Structure 1
Amino acid sequence: MNHYQLETDIQHLEQVLTHISLNDRIPLSYWRKRVDSLTSVASVPSQRSRVKKLNEALRALEVRAQT
């Protein structure tokens, strides 16, 4: 994945994850796959930090879904 595509994907997920809910049609597992795919390719510290925040936000939603 090139740098531009990685940045675009991170920005998209940063926007989307603030708006999704447990009742959305797209399951959390889809978003988990998207975030996990970025974890392995983020190489710049700022990208890793942003992906870490995405992971934390998604994990909070996953925890809420389990209760």
Structure 2
Amino acid sequence: MNHYQLETDIQHLEQVLTHISANDRIPLSYWRKRVDSVTSAASVPSQRSRVQKLNEALLALEARARS
């Protein structure tokens, strides 16, 4: 994944994850795959930090969905 695409994907996920819930039409498993994809591609510290926040937000959503 090139740098521009990675930045675009991270930015999109940052926007989307603040507006979704476990009951949305698109399942959390889809968003997990997207976050995992950017996690493996993030190479610079600022990207890794942003992706870590995305992962934490998604983990919280997944935990709420299980309870």
TM range (shorter): over 0.9
1:38 maps to 38
C-alpha displacement at 1:23, in angstroms?
1.3
* Structure 1 vs Structure 2 CA RMSD: 0.4
Q: Which amino acid aligns with 1:40?
A: S
| CA distance in 1: counterparts of 2:21 and 2:53, whole angstroms | 17
Structure 2 residue aligned with 1:3: 3
Q: Name stretches of at least 5 consecutive residues in structure 2 with no aligned partner.
A: none
Point out where structure 1 has 5 or more consecutive residues left out of the alignment.
none
TM-score, normalisation: structure 1: 0.98
2:26 aligns to what? 26
Identity %: 88
* TM-score of the pair, normalised by structure 2: 0.98
Number of residue pairs matched by the alignment: 67
- Structure 1 segments of 4 or more deviating over 6 A? none
